[in-house]
Structure 1
Amino acid sequence: MSSFTYPDLPLDGLLRTAAVRDPDGTAVRRADASVGFAELDDLADRVAAYLERETGRCGARIGVANVLDPVFAATYYGAGRSGNTAVLINPLIKEDGLRHVLATADVEVAFVPTPTAELLVKLKGALPRLRTVVVTDALDGVVPADALALHSVLDPVATPRGGRTDPDSVACIQFTTGSTGRPRGVLLTHRNLVANARQTALAHRLSAESVTLNHLPLYHLMHLNSAVYAGACQVLCQDADPIASLALAAEVGATHYYGLPARLHRLAADERLGTALPGGSRLTAVLSGGSALRADAARTLRERLGAPVIQGYGMAECSPLTHCQQPESYRPGAVGTTVPGTECRLVEPRTREQVDVWSTGEVQVRGPQVMAGYLGEDRPARLDADGWFSTGDIGYLDEQGELHLTDRLVDVFKYDNEIVSPSRVERVIIDDPRVADCIVVDWPDPEHGALVWAGVVLRDPQPCGPYAPGAPAAPGAPGGLDVLDSITALANERLAHFERIRLVEALDEIPRTPTGKQERRGLRRQLKERAAERTGV
């Protein structure tokens, strides 16, 4: 671990270095425009100069919406260059979530697209620290009332005063998804982000010759920082159609294709996939992260695209990457070995004793990318004095050091004191070709503690409601009940008695966060309310 090194730079120094090294090289490209490294660096300078004037000090909190657009890169690096802290704003979140992020972080200036600006103008009474809303996509200067267009606040010739930035100061606050609780602000330092930029570039084998295609709903820090560190060209695909993204990958000569599992699952199931990518493709890797990619989808994409499909693992608290598969040692179901400079161990959740290879435990990681802490909290319990961060994920290590994840610690539950792994049950259900997607959570039960409840998305949807497997269907009942009963019966044959599905329901879709993760928390709350109604408790 001691041999790993990374640049002694502030975060925005990654962009400055790339601009000096290759000023005319394309940094970011989208359908209608491209931005070179020097041009992007100049725009970050102008943003920084504006923020110095607007805030009049260092350490202010600057909201930056991570839209899939070059403007995000300029405002994100510009916030740090001005001596202030960037607070990531997800433009897809709703009003309540938006209020929570800006109020908790005390955001003073926000760079956001028009729909988010309209919400913020409405929320200004509840956000007394927010004094300026800057619209990043204003067309012809038209902006909501009490907001400003980006081009109107940037001086075309201004340069920031700058100064030496402490690498251990907070560069960015990124809020967790809130899938297991109220979103928390993660404090990421310049050192965290610069280290992870190099770690990711090494793990993904990025270079100045690389062309990365981001088929994502939002810009992600990992993709931006690692590509800028390597001097790679980033191509932003804003078309949600997965086949259109492959056509763009072929057009630009993409070497790396980044996608979320939900989109990659759709791509793997698309009948047009076989002819979507020409034989002369430069694609060297399809990279997935954020949640688990099904093995069958990974296999299909690998066979059809002629490139390895690589799974990674990380979280906001780790800037985010900690593990990544390598093409030459691909193991289905694993998320890879640690990225350079990172350690990983597994501990028994109750005793906190380290467990052996192949033994299940909670994943802990340590490295220069691990956060400084949470906003507004003292040293978090999940980060110990030795720097080990407890991820809350359950898994095991194999003899090659590959990490295999099974569940979130908060998602496992007990039936008659036996631990049920929702992911294990889901893997069995999804093996049925009639199932397009599924989710498993606990249904409260006074006798057993909890029952296994499964929500199933059928490939051939048939309307039906919740019911207990094996219950006789009423006359004229929808045919979907028979399908669910059959799916459940086959799954239960492969499951231990405590894992067996006791309640099942057909769903139109699985509730997911904007990044594609299953949203169990809200679903669990709904089921708890329904269970209480049934029992009268």
Structure 2
Amino acid sequence: MFPAAKGAPGIFYGKHNFSFPTHMNYGIYFIERILNFKEKRALINASTGEEVTFGQIVYEVVNVAGSLVELGVSKGDLVAVVSENRSEVLTAILAAMCAGASVTLINSAYTGGELLHAATITKPKYMFLSPTASDKHHKTLIKLTFLSKFFIFGDSSSKGIISYKDLAKKEANFTNFVDYYGRVEVALVLYSSGTTGPPKGAKVTHANLIAAAQQHDFCPDKSALTLAPMCNTFGLTTTLKALVNGKMVIHLSRFKEEQFLEAIQKYKVQSLMVAPPLVVLMSKSLLVDNYDLRSVDIIYSGGAPLDKSVIKEIEKRLPNLRVLQGYGSTETTGPITEETVADHRQGSIGKVVQGIVMKVVDIESRKILGPGEPGEVCVNGVVLFDGYIGKPKSDYFDDDGFYRTGDIAYYDQDGYFFIIDRLKELIKYKAWQVSPAEIEGVLLKHPAVKDAGVIGAPDPLTGELPTAFVVKQRGAEVTENDIIEFVSLEVSPWKRLRGGVRFVSEIPKTGSGKILRRVLRDMLKAKSKI
């Protein structure tokens, strides 16, 4: 990685030393890579204790792919997966790719309306469901005429639903799939996080995924634990990247604090791939001291900015630990910038990764900016997606082919990047722009605050008033005025909480840890009507 190419000041280039197989199919590429680790444990479900070896993954992917081909799945078809985290999610994805199909992942936690919105974007022909997702959504999904077949993980007694176990039993030959090419074809349709509006379907190609698999491995040879849903980019790409490099991944289907800490202790987990809320929890949780967490030496945090104070607190609490941050997106098949153990600067999100070309531009003039000048992050490169389904590229790409991320950041003289906030989430108070993430970082310093989210409350005179939603620590006694005064002592006048403080039981977030500010705005509107 290096800061700028000659003749292109202000543009950052990650090295592009990738190799691609002739078949250009990520599913086949994945299987070819993990054949080297057949006897090793690959996946452990810490909720159930179920363990899967790399050899078992190969066996299931090949057999399920063969069954799908027999059932008529072919190039151009779209297969959906709706499930909580479990090993079959990954094998179903890879099998569908080997069969020549594209795959979309839909969050099983969606409401019926949200699921229908996502399914209508892509119109899948086939769908894999977990038993939980089937119980919750099957009555809704059977109304969709474009869905022709359903598969369920585990056994099935329901008429018209095919058991995944039956698919995996049929012996197939790996060589039957090498004729399926994926050079520019879409491999995955992933949905944007939906923090500011309804999710959009991002088209990720086989080439994107193969390149992403060869990017820098932030913790080689270390077992990893992940909680992030496999239906989102952070959860899926970090898990696939760990497995394709032969690492063992421990996963949980949902977060339960004691179960999470027990899993680290039981499996002597060496690295954690988690969203910022979990780092915040570990820095403040009263339960952490009850468990032996000395095996963990790296926390890799992504999905949202992490405040310096939180990093200092957890590294003080667990001295053997190093917190590394990354910044990425669905549209770049994972990371855009990343810290490494050898190349670390506290508070930064690291340097540009392999496969990325990046610039920071002025929001209004679109001029490329220099060090220390905040602007919008724009990216290009071999891992960049192929646009959104049903959306013109001109809406999201600039004239030079760079994707406009909508994120505000700056870089220093050494090429380290620092994220500020989402362009759409900046609060406009009078002539000032206020970063919600900055105020949230201040709030988390308060000993009585367990979690926080900040938005702008509409105001006819000033535009928007910074407003906080706060989750108290258990047993803490703190008032709205206490919080307002605490923040006022830490920030400039225009950043004060003039919209007040609302105490809530939890801050709504996506599976990757991003605050759902649109939900906070809905909560604010509902409160104002009372």
- Give TM-score scaled by structure 2 length: 0.88
Find the partner of 1:291 among 295, 304, 312: 304
Q: Report the counterpart of residue 74 of structure 1 in structure 2.
A: 91
TM-aligned CA distance change 1:522 to 1:272, over 3 Å: closer
Q: For 2:263 and 2:20, how far apart are their aligned partners in 1?
A: 33
Q: Report the counterpart of residue 508 of structure 1 in structure 2.
A: 505
Q: Report the counterpart of residue 117 of structure 1 in structure 2.
A: 134
1:495 is displaced (CA, Å) by 3.0
Q: Report the counterpart of residue 39 of structure 2 in structure 1.
A: 24
Give the letter for the 1:514 counterpart: G
Contact 2:34 2:245 in 1 (8 A): no
Q: For 1:61 and 1:86, how far apart are their aligned partners in 2?
A: 6
| Counterpart check, 1:93 vs 2:107 | no
Cα deviation 1:253-279 (Å, max 9, x = unaligned):
433222222223222222342352265
1:101 is displaced (CA, Å) by 1.4
Contact 1:211 1:256 in 2 (8 A): yes
Find the partner of 1:489 among 485, 495, 519: 485
Alignment of 1:409-488 (within 5 A): 409-459=423-473, 483-488=479-484
| Counterpart check, 1:248 vs 2:260 | no
1:518 is displaced (CA, Å) by 0.8
Cα deviation 1:366-387 (Å, max 9, x = unaligned):
2211101101223242223533
Unmatched 5+ residue regions in structure 1?
A: 463-478
Q: Report the counterpart of residue 53 of structure 2 in structure 1.
A: 36
Cα deviation 1:473-512 (Å, max 9, x = unaligned):
xxxxxx86xx211221232233333222222222222122
Q: Report the counterpart of residue 196 of structure 2 in structure 1.
A: 180
Find the partner of 2:422 among 393, 403, 408: 408
Cα deviation 1:213-237 (Å, max 9, x = unaligned):
2244546221232123212222224
Q: For 1:437 and 1:246, how far apart are their aligned partners in 2?
A: 19
Contact 2:303 2:327 in 1 (8 A): yes
Cα deviation 1:5-37 (Å, max 9, x = unaligned):
143342113332234323222222334332222
Q: For 2:30 and 2:309, how far apart are their aligned partners in 1?
A: 39
1:393 is displaced (CA, Å) by 0.7
**Secondary structure of 1:51's partner?**
helix
TM-aligned CA distance change 1:247 to 1:118, over 3 Å: closer
1:415 is displaced (CA, Å) by 1.9
1:400 is displaced (CA, Å) by 2.0
TM-aligned CA distance change 1:270 to 1:436, over 3 Å: closer
Find the partner of 2:375 among 361, 364, 367: 361
Q: For 2:435 and 2:293, how far apart are their aligned partners in 1?
A: 41
Contact 1:289 1:311 in 2 (8 A): yes
Contact 2:223 2:249 in 1 (8 A): yes
TM-aligned CA distance change 1:217 to 1:455, over 3 Å: same
**Secondary structure of 2:71's partner?**
helix
Q: For 1:285 and 1:229, how far apart are their aligned partners in 2?
A: 20
Q: For 2:469 and 2:291, how far apart are their aligned partners in 1?
A: 32
Contact 2:85 2:230 in 1 (8 A): yes
| Counterpart check, 1:13 vs 2:10 | no
Find the partner of 2:355 among 328, 336, 341: 341
Q: Report the counterpart of residue 314 of structure 1 in structure 2.
A: 328
Q: For 1:33 and 1:329, how far apart are their aligned partners in 2?
A: 36
TM-aligned CA distance change 1:427 to 1:124, over 3 Å: closer
Q: For 1:57 and 1:239, how far apart are their aligned partners in 2?
A: 33
TM-aligned CA distance change 1:493 to 1:298, over 3 Å: closer
Alignment of 1:211-230 (within 5 A): 211-218=223-230, 220-230=235-245
Give the letter for the 1:286 counterpart: I
- Give TM-score scaled by structure 1 length: 0.87
TM-aligned CA distance change 1:238 to 1:378, over 3 Å: closer
**Secondary structure of 2:278's partner?**
helix
| Counterpart check, 1:499 vs 2:495 | yes
| Counterpart check, 1:269 vs 2:284 | yes
Contact 1:28 1:36 in 2 (8 A): yes
1:295 is displaced (CA, Å) by 2.8
Find the partner of 1:194 among 210, 214, 219: 210
**Secondary structure of 2:26's partner?**
coil
**Secondary structure of 1:7's partner?**
coil
Matched positions, count:
506
Q: For 2:393 and 2:521, how far apart are their aligned partners in 1?
A: 30
TM-aligned CA distance change 1:246 to 1:450, over 3 Å: closer
Give the letter for the 1:328 counterpart: A
**Secondary structure of 2:325's partner?**
strand
Contact 1:173 1:185 in 2 (8 A): yes
**Secondary structure of 2:486's partner?**
helix
How high is the sequence identity, in percent, across the aligned residues? 23
Q: For 1:278 and 1:89, how far apart are their aligned partners in 2?
A: 33
**Secondary structure of 2:125's partner?**
strand
Q: Report the counterpart of residue 476 of structure 1 in structure 2.
A: none
Q: Report the counterpart of residue 467 of structure 1 in structure 2.
A: none
TM-aligned CA distance change 1:34 to 1:116, over 3 Å: same
Give the letter for the 1:527 counterpart: L
Q: For 2:207 and 2:378, how far apart are their aligned partners in 1?
A: 20
Q: Report the counterpart of residue 222 of structure 2 in structure 1.
A: 210
Q: For 1:29 and 1:76, how far apart are their aligned partners in 2?
A: 18
Q: Report the counterpart of residue 11 of structure 2 in structure 1.
A: none
Contact 2:64 2:170 in 1 (8 A): no
* More divergent stretch after superposition (115-124 vs 173-182): 115-124
Q: For 2:426 and 2:300, how far apart are their aligned partners in 1?
A: 28
Q: For 1:277 and 1:204, how far apart are their aligned partners in 2?
A: 23
Q: Report the counterpart of residue 472 of structure 1 in structure 2.
A: none
**Secondary structure of 1:286's partner?**
strand
| Higher relative contact order (CA closer than 8 Å, sequence separation 6+) | 2
1:449 is displaced (CA, Å) by 1.7
1:189 is displaced (CA, Å) by 0.2
Contact 2:83 2:130 in 1 (8 A): no
Cα deviation 1:82-133 (Å, max 9, x = unaligned):
1000111211211111111112211111111112223443124541111212
Find the partner of 2:246 among 221, 226, 231: 231
Which structure's CA Rg is the greater one?
1
Contact 2:397 2:404 in 1 (8 A): yes
Aligned-residue Cα RMSD (Å) equals 2.5
Contact 1:99 1:126 in 2 (8 A): no
TM-aligned CA distance change 1:456 to 1:403, over 3 Å: same
Cα deviation 1:439-481 (Å, max 9, x = unaligned):
221111112222222222222568xxxxxxxxxxxxxxxx86x
